[in-house]
A and B are shown apart, each in its own frame.
Chain A
Amino acid sequence: MSEEKFTDINGKPISLECRSHSSFCREFVVSAPKVSLRAVMVCTCAVWLSAYAAFFVTKNTAVLSSAIVTTLVGMMVHIHLIKIDHERLLIVGSLGVQVSSCFASGRESATFIEMSSIKDIVINEAIHMQRVIYYLCILLKEPSDPNGVSGVVPLFQSSKPRLNCLVKIYKSCQEILGQC
């Protein structure tokens, strides 16, 4: 079990934790930086100051209560649906690969891909806005054509680590895929 610090494509710090449960089962956790207190305070103050200004103009208390409700609902929606805390990749040789993302509220959404439908795990290049980035992805087998690829599942989409981090994960995964 080892934890290392890397940066993502935008320069923000992320951390990678590699855990080896057995010789054919490994887990990789890429964690994004947590919700910063400063950003929360800035947003809340901005919303409430504008609500006070609106109240000063209209003298209607509904503005203030709606600002409070908006802030609360917005924060809940953000931590439950938008902010991804860490992304996990669990690879179990001869069983399959599980990709899951955990949100800041603790909710975890996972997808499991069986080994019989995985062709390979590769590092691809993509054009993202004005730059070219690397990303790790799983190639799925096409049932009818043994050489074809039926789909591509990109991994670590919200943390977007850089190539050095991806290479580490790639080498580890290829060791396990090579065994079965």
Chain B
Amino acid sequence: MVLKIFFPQCCNRADSGLLVGRWVPGFDSVVVLAVIHYPFIPGQVKKYLSEMQSAIQLELTVLGSWSMPKDGQEGMDSFLKDLSTIFPQGRWLQLSRELGKRGFACDDEKEKVIFIHYDQRKVMLSHLHPAHGQEPAAEGVSELRLVFQTVAQSQPLFFLDKYDDGPIKLTHWQSEGREASILVELIKQASVPMCLVLTWLLSLWTQLRILNMWPVRFVSSKLSTCVQLSHRTEHLQTISSPRRAQQHADFMRKANIFVSFLVDIALGLLLISWLYRENRIGRLANTLVPVADHVAKELQELLQWLMGAPAGLKMNRALDQVLGRFFLYHIHLWISYIHLLSPFIEMILWYVGLSACLGLTFALSVVSDIVALLTFHIYCFYVYGARIYCLKIYGLSSLWRLFRGKKWNVLRQRVDSCSYDLDQLFIGTLLFTILLFLLPTTALYYLVFTLLRLGVVLLQGFIHLMIDIINSFPLFAGGLRLFRPYRLAEGVKFKVLCEEPGMSLHLMMEINPLKLSTAVQQYRIPTYSCYPKDSWAALCKKLFVGDLIYPWTPLHKGSKED
């Protein structure tokens, strides 16, 4: 069998010493983690290794000896052989390298050896993702995964370096001295009290919400601003938990939420700084009422057109007049309310615009709510038209069955034949005829108002799509993939390093990063929006029958009126 030695690149030029690492269980391979230099006291080395073993929970052992003789250092061979008696273990490796030659030699091994060079810092920081279609639980027996886990778990081993005053002098990736950034350390120190403060504030806020009674809760479930507020509160609760994230997925989720929250607020502040300059709010408020007036006027003209002979169709005059006047009166009421509110609109807009400092998503949800409120009359007309049409259709279908002598059996949920009395048949046929001839009028009103409602729904849907994208896009994962691609690893790549004749095989192991699309898909933040579950066919059927369509309902509300 071939022995695979995973050798860190930082130890290529290390002075002679002992190799410390781990034998990978179940495979014929070994991971070298560090080199301990001469002079050392074997007792202290053993004590240090047992301390490390309890800290890391891995079986760290002395693997063998490493010799890179400098000028004038001869006669190490017998010394190195004697070392193997001091440290008891199963196998003893003796690696050596000569200055001027690029290859290593592994003495004393009759079998073949492969040296796999790896970049210790990158392997330590990276997370190997499970391959396509495999669950993480089934991954235990992969050799590479064990190697990655070994290096990642050995972080405490890399704290001591060459310049420390202790008895042990190690070479590993941090052996030139540990680097740290002041900003990062300050942020780490400040983050714990900040998290506690945030948790306390959020607990106050949630206690406040419990006191809300049913009407407020009903209203807040309809307004998308309140839904967005509760969603962000959940996010903040996730971030502000003072426990460190243990799993990689939890850490990525926290980081993604944090970064997208910051970007959201930054965009919101940018919007505020643009909006509150040059009295744009005043101009916006001044155009809002004329726009509402204009919409109402257009609706009135539309209704006048429907009350006449729309597109050449001949309507039933009486029903036409009744429906038309009913809707016209509604529009008149709506316009009066708008005019009543018009002096306060600028102030309301000014204060509501300030909510954009909570994030761009809030500004967009406020816009969506304003659109919903301004087109409330269209929604009402749609509901009236749909209900009348729905009643008519159900009545028609039931009387059509009577016309043919059949009946709907509620117990058996099927159509059965039934013998009706003569007067039942007479009244039924009369009603059927009336409903049938009134159908075109109601159908036309229903069609017009459904189209208007669908237009408004499309607009609101587009705004909600924007909000959803901002909410769910994992900016941290995308940025990590672009700037530190080795941290999200899909696999590894090997390159054969040019060999000299007679030397063993040397391979260079590099990290193969995850594709950007896979990274974004995997680390998407889950959001509250549920896209319409109906297929196009179901939607068309609902429209035809006259059932009310609700394009979206918040997920946590549960019941959808389908």
Contact = CB atoms under 8 A, between A and B. Distances in A.
A94 B2 contact: yes
Given A22-B505, A116-B143, A143-B138, A92 B512 contact: no
Interface in B461-515: 491-494, 496, 499, 504-505, 507, 512
A145 to B, nearest CB: 13
Contact of B507 (A92, A93, A110, A117): A92
Nearest to B141: A116
Given A23-B112, A111-B491, A94 B141 contact: no
A98 interface: yes
Q: Is the interface of A mostly helix, strand, loop or mixed?
A: strand
A30 B512 CA distance: 22
30 contacts: A21-B499, A21-B505, A22-B112, A22-B499, A22-B505, A24-B2, A24-B505, A25-B496, A25-B505, A90-B494, A90-B496, A92-B114, A92-B505, A94-B1, A95-B4, A95-B114, A95-B116, A95-B494, A98-B493, A111-B512, A112-B491, A112-B492, A114-B142, A114-B143, A114-B144, A116-B141, A116-B143, A143-B138, A180-B1, A180-B2
Interface string B121-141: 000000000000000001001
A55 B138 CA distance: 62
B345 to A, nearest CB: 45
A25 B4 CA distance: 13
Nearest to B499: A21
A27 interface: yes
B28 interface: yes
A93 B112 CA distance: 11
A14 B435 CA distance: 78
Contacts of B141: 116
Contacts of B142: 114, 116-117
Interface of A: 21-25, 27, 90, 92-95, 98, 100, 110-112, 114, 116-117, 143, 180
Contacts of A116: 141-143
Given A22-B505, A94-B4, A95-B114, A112 B493 contact: yes
A90 B492 CA distance: 13
Contact of A22 (B491, B492, B504): B504
A135 to B, nearest CB: 21
Nearest to B28: A94
Contacts of B2: 24, 93-95, 180
Contacts of B492: 112
Contacts of A27: 496
A143 B141 CA distance: 10
Nearest to B113: A22
B486 to A, nearest CB: 15
A176 to B, nearest CB: 11
A23 B507 CA distance: 14
